[in-house]
Amino acid sequence: MQMRIFAAAVVVVLFSGGAGLAADAPGRYTLAPAGEAFLRLDSATGAMSVCSQKPSGWSCASVADDVRALQQEVDRLTHQTEELRQKLAEAGAPAEADAPAKAPDTTPRLQPANPSSSVPEVAFDQMADLVAKMLRRFEDMVRDIQAGDPPKEI
């Protein structure tokens, strides 16, 4: 019983601590118990934090967001690809769709020292699909947390 009262007090303190800030809209943060700590979701930015009690008081630590970092990298690479395509078009190079079909080259080639320097477009498309799938799963998990549904096993 005391644990529930304590948890309710923590929720009130966490919500009232940011209530004075104009940027914090009511209901912006969602808390969910996670063992001895709480998982806090910022519905405005999607940032997640783990809040736990320390000897000096309650503290929240940001959760690393690998999905967001991957999406930012995909966006950056997509923008860079579009810029390179525009430069090729300005230089008069044929676009991929306009280029004549070539027979596959079967001659053995040495691999470059840095394999990431020559990523085939097929591999890039597969990676983009994988990242999109991961983002959809993450968004589903966030919706489940916001709806109060128990998390699904992955």
Domain span at residue 17 reads: 7-63
Question: Of 10 and 43, which is predicted with more confidence?
Answer: 43
Place of tokens 């910022």: 42
For residues 15-29, give the mean pLDDT: 57
Structural domain includes residue 88: yes
pLDDT score recorded for residue 19: 43
Decide if 105 is inside a domain. Answer: no
The span from the CA of 149 to the CA of 144, in Å, is 5
What's the average model confidence in pLDDT over 63-92? 87
77 belongs to a structural domain: yes
Q: How confident is the model at residue 127 (pLDDT cuts 50, 70, 90)?
A: confident
d(CA 22, CA 1): 35
Under DSSP, the state recorded for 21 is S
pTM for the model: 0.31
| Interval 132-153 mean pLDDT | 81
**Are 69 and 57 contained in the same domain?**
no
Number of domains in the chain: 2
Does 28 share its domain with 76? no
